[in-house]
Amino acid sequence: MTSSSHAGDARAKPTHTAVVGLQWGDEGKGKIVDLLTASHDVIVRYNGGANAGHTVVVGPQRYALHLIPSGILYPDKVCVIGNGVVVDPEKLIQEIDALRARGIEVGDNLKVSDRAHVVMPYHKEHDAALENVLASRAPGPGSKAGEQAGVDLSIGTTKRGIGPAYADKVHRSTAIRMGDLLDADLLLRKLRVICAIRSAELAALGVNAPPLDPVELTRTFAALGRRLAPRITDTTYLLHGYLAERRAILFEGANACLLDIDHGTYPYVTSSNCSTLGIPAGTGVPGSNITRVMGIMKAYTTRVGAGPCPTELVDELGDRIRQRGNEYGTTTGRPRRCGWLDLVAVRYSAMVCGATALAVMLLDVLSGFDELKLCTRYRLPDGSLSDRFIPDAERMAKVSPVFETLPGWREELDEAADRSSLPLNAQQYLRRIEEIVGVPIEIISVGPERTQTLTSA
Ligand code: GDP
Ligand code: IMO
Ligand code: MG
């Protein structure tokens, strides 16, 4: 580890930082984690799984990270996958191999919690099959031939098995954790029971496949366990050891606050606590250690999958943002829904996450618009105005956005040198964000590359 650590200096107290998305994901967390990694020693993922897609661009190289923390490009830092993450071991090994093939060192510097839950193949099948049934594209349990298609209740998940894996975590007795992969006998005992239950469930969801084979699954997953064994450890003690050594820790949020299972637009959310509130439970590190919370937000709004998005633009303006911002999912390639910046939502997320600073990303995408709109309040069905976000999809679907209109700018921003050299209308746009959210902007991003970053602290 480098001099950003404070080992040996009894007085220096490192800053432990959280990086968290304040919208519906894909805000540019990967880019900021990569940037801030330089001043931290340990980078920790605390939630989610391979549903995340974090992009880091370094010169001509573009890396899409799904399970491995975005700090991995620095060989002298430690990356940790905490207990709150659900790990697909096959995907993790693929990601390690792909990075190594590109010359990135993934050795002793990547650790995985023995208590992180395992995403099994049947979780992914269940995820896809349930989505299919909920979208009424397939016959559901108890449906009759020729029955009329019902309402679409699908979430638009990434089909990475996230929901079913977290459901097993809560079920307890049908769950498998990374540590279990190291004990083939235990794994087989568990899988004999689990496979019988899951095979029946998958059949009920309309999956036409042979019953799951516990022996085969044990063979495969014990082998994956052997491969990952040197990395699997008690990461809670590991992290507390780093805290005691005064190493600086960076907590990398996946997904985002409005997708948080408790605080997002339920049920159109993911299955973990992706706000900063998930950090203590997902790592074993008390939240009181974290003094800096960098809230990451796009200069506009995007969302992938179903669920309310009051400021969505389903017109040419939305298409323009999608094209300029290249708004296609890092994990699934789906086009992202685009809209004006919803500051009711961002202010809410900043409150829930305790944001101490903001990073405003993709500001360059907004060049060339005559005017820009900021949503500052919602109009409720009874006609009244509210400045409160509603973390409930049914009720959120009934609000309409109330906008403040600001003048746009024509200049491209991708080569801007600092905040004060931005066009005046861009500066005004940023000031309004700070005023309405009530949190200072520390980072402004004007392009995907490390160098296309303005700091205004
Ligand atoms: P994450 O999931 O929050 O890490 O975000 P994603 O990587 O899924 O999506 C953000 C996308 O925006 C990626 O393709 C980034 O390379 C890109 N990006 C990040 N910052 C900027 C920026 O300031 N301008 C532009 N044009 N692209 C950016
Ligand atoms: P990053 O970390 C954007 C969305 C999915 C879906 C819902 C539930 O790259 O910002 P899931 O597969 O988690 O059960 O899907 O949550 N979703 C994301 N959207 N970025 C993400 O991660 C997301 N992770 C989950 O599109 O609507
Ligand atoms: Mg993403």
> 148: buried, middle or exposed (CB in 10 Å: 19+, 13-18, 0-12)?
exposed
User: How far does the centroid of ligand 3 lie from the alpha carbon of residue 69, in Å?
Assistant: 13
Closest ligand to Cα 359: 1
Helix, strand, coil percent values for the chain (each to nearest 5): 35, 20, 45
Which residue carries 């209308």 as its tokens?
425
16 as an active site residue: the answer is: no
- Mean predicted confidence (pLDDT) in 257-272: 98
Which residue carries 């305790």 as its tokens?
354
- The SS3 call for residue 201 is helix
Cα–Cα distance for residue pair 176/187, rounded to 1 Å: 8
- The SS3 call for residue 91 is helix
Cα–Cα distance for residue pair 274/54, rounded to 1 Å: 14
21 lines ligand 1 (CB under 6 A): yes
26 as an active site residue: the answer is: yes
> What does pLDDT average to over the chain?
95
pLDDT-based confidence at residue 331 (cuts at 50, 70, 90):
confident
- The answer to whether residue 8 scores a pLDDT higher than 70 is no
184 in Cβ contact with 222 (< 8 Å)? yes
- Mean predicted confidence (pLDDT) in 277-303: 98
Q: Helices marked H in 117-183 — which ranges?
A: 121-134, 162-171
pLDDT at site 330: 83
pLDDT by residue (tens digit) across 77-86? 999 999 999 9
- The answer to whether residue 149 scores a pLDDT higher than 90 is no
- The SS3 call for residue 247 is coil
pLDDT by residue (tens digit) across 291-325? 999 999 999 999 999 999 999 999 999 999 999 99
Enter the tokens of residue 142: 């108890």
pLDDT by residue (tens digit) across 51-83? 999 999 999 999 999 999 999 999 999 999 999
User: How far does the centroid of ligand 3 lie from the alpha carbon of residue 86, in Å?
Assistant: 16
- Mean predicted confidence (pLDDT) in 25-45: 98
pLDDT by residue (tens digit) across 337-394? 999 999 999 999 999 999 999 999 999 999 999 999 999 999 999 999 999 999 999 9
Other C-beta atoms lying within 10 Å of the C-beta of residue 70: 28
Instruction: Read off the pTM.
Output: 0.96
DSSP for 409-449? --S--TT--SGGGS-HHHHHHHHHHHHHH-S-EEEEE-SSB
- The answer to whether residue 145 scores a pLDDT higher than 80 is no
> 324: buried, middle or exposed (CB in 10 Å: 19+, 13-18, 0-12)?
middle
193 in Cβ contact with 172 (< 8 Å)? no
Mutate to test the pocket of ligand 1, among 362, 364, 413 (most ligand atoms within 8 A of CB): 362
304 lines ligand 2 (CB under 6 A): yes
Cα–Cα distance for residue pair 438/212, rounded to 1 Å: 53
276 in Cβ contact with 354 (< 8 Å)? yes
Cα–Cα distance for residue pair 377/436, rounded to 1 Å: 10
Other C-beta atoms lying within 10 Å of the C-beta of residue 406: 17
The one-letter code for the residue type at 284 is G
Cα–Cα distance for residue pair 199/213, rounded to 1 Å: 9
Cα–Cα distance for residue pair 423/457, rounded to 1 Å: 19
Cα 298 versus chain centre, distance = 14
214 in Cβ contact with 195 (< 8 Å)? yes
155 lines ligand 2 (CB under 6 A): yes
